[in-house]
Copies of this chain bind each other. A is one copy, B any other.
Amino acid sequence: MHFADRLLDACRKKGNAVCAGIDPRWELLPLEIRRRHGGRTLGAMAAAFEEFSLRMLDIVAPLVPVVKPQSAFFEACGPAGMAAQQKVLAKAKALGLVTILDNKRGDIASTAEAYADAALAGTQCAGVRQPVWAADALTINPYLGRDAVEPFITSARRCEGGVFVLVRTSNPGAKQFQDLRADGKPVYQHVAEAVGAWSAENLGASGFGDVGAVVGATHPEELALVRQWLPHIVLLVPGYGAQGGGGADTASAFRPDGAGAIINSSRGIMAAFKPDDPGWEQAIDQAARTAITDLLQVTPMKALGLKFA
């Protein structure tokens, strides 16, 4: 099934469009897990990240349609961390979640192809594609231009996956280059228009393409503009919750039928407890439900079909 259709289908099944970000950091983990692994080596830290992430998946899988592991925190533990990332993505897929590997890759030609195939279609090895990270989609950086983006799209189309291109990021410094005005419009609009063209090459039955855009919830006006310019692209919206974006700020990312946007919450869900709280699993469950409820109240997400209150 086309990536955008699969994504929308998953949202309708869960009755919401929330993505739970998985950004494991040692100081945010439950003490229980930290104590078991000790954390005196990068391997032990990776094992703790893996245990936490796998248990978190069990909690959020019945609630949300999408998860987004943040590759940097796994990479911080070296090869053992990358092995943990692989297991987390595999379990998420096994639980029926749509997976977005947030690794913001970007390079040219065969190098881009290597990153893309690792994340999506699999690395060619002895004549067959062998899965590496095996995510459904990844995030990429557009600065290198068209021929640096195309290998990612090619790899995604080989496995009915998706690509999310950074358009307007959620950080305060995003404006430095993204808001420079060229030919009467900001750079991020030039990027958005390119994303629109790439996405239009391959629309699913839902009318959405397989190349989406990342636009931060911290910029609600820009979010509304991108939605208006490009009705056919899926928006992945970080910045809701801990980064300061309110639920209502994400409303304009959606079409009136509740389709077209995925709202990510990372620390708001995965770090919704004090490390010494023995009830941390219930706290994650509750935080995911709170995020969903908040967004159902203030965005068109409820049109997806309410599944729990």
A residues contacting B by CB (< 8 A) are 23, 25-26, 39-42, 45, 70, 72-73, 75-80, 82-83, 86, 104-112, 114-115, 117-118, 123-126, 130, 132-133, 141-149, 166, 169-178, 180-183, 187, 190-191, 194
Question: What 3 pairs across the A-B complex have the smallest Cβ distances?
Answer: A145-B173, A147-B173, A180-B182
Contact A190 B170 (CB under 8 A): no
Contact B79 A83 (CB under 8 A): yes
Q: A42-B130, A75-B132 are in contact. List 4 more A-B contacts (CB 8 A).
A: A25-B110, A39-B125, A77-B132, A78-B118
Q: List 21 A-B contacts (CB under 8 A).
A: A26-B124, A40-B126, A72-B112, A72-B114, A76-B114, A78-B118, A78-B132, A78-B133, A79-B86, A104-B106, A106-B106, A106-B141, A141-B141, A142-B177, A144-B174, A146-B176, A147-B171, A147-B172, A148-B173, A149-B173, A180-B183
How far is it, in angstroms, between the C-alpha of A145 and the C-alpha of B187 when the chains are bound? 13
Contact A177 B145 (CB under 8 A): yes
Q: Looking across the interface, which residue of chain B has its beta carbon closest to that of A194?
A: B176
Chain B residues near A187 (CB, 8 Å)? 177, 180, 182, 187
Copies in the complex: 2
Smallest distance from the beta carbon of A22 to chain B beta carbons, Å? Answer: 12
Contact A145 B174 (CB under 8 A): yes
Chain B residues near A75 (CB, 8 Å)? 82, 114-115, 118, 132
Residue in A142, A143, A170 whose Cβ sees the most chain B Cβ within 10 Å = A143
Contact A39 B126 (CB under 8 A): yes
Known: A114-B75, A118-B78. A145 touches B123 (CB 8 A): no
How far is it, in angstroms, between the C-alpha of A300 and the C-alpha of B303 when the chains are bound? 66
Contact A176 B78 (CB under 8 A): no
Partner of A72, one of B80, B107, B170, B175: B107
Chain B residues near A80 (CB, 8 Å)? 79
How far is it, in angstroms, between the C-alpha of A308 and the C-alpha of B134 when the chains are bound? 48
Contact A79 B76 (CB under 8 A): no
Q: Looking across the interface, which residue of chain B has its beta carbon closest to that of A146?
A: B173
Chain B residues near A143 (CB, 8 Å)? 141-143, 166, 169, 177-178
Chain B residues near A110 (CB, 8 Å)? 25
Q: Looking across the interface, which residue of chain B has its beta carbon closest to that of A150?
A: B173
Contact A117 B76 (CB under 8 A): yes
Smallest distance from the beta carbon of A239 to chain B beta carbons, Å? Answer: 10
Contact B79 A79 (CB under 8 A): yes
How far is it, in angstroms, between the C-alpha of A107 and the C-alpha of B86 when the chains are bound? 20
Contact B45 A125 (CB under 8 A): yes
Chain B residues near A42 (CB, 8 Å)? 123, 125, 130, 132
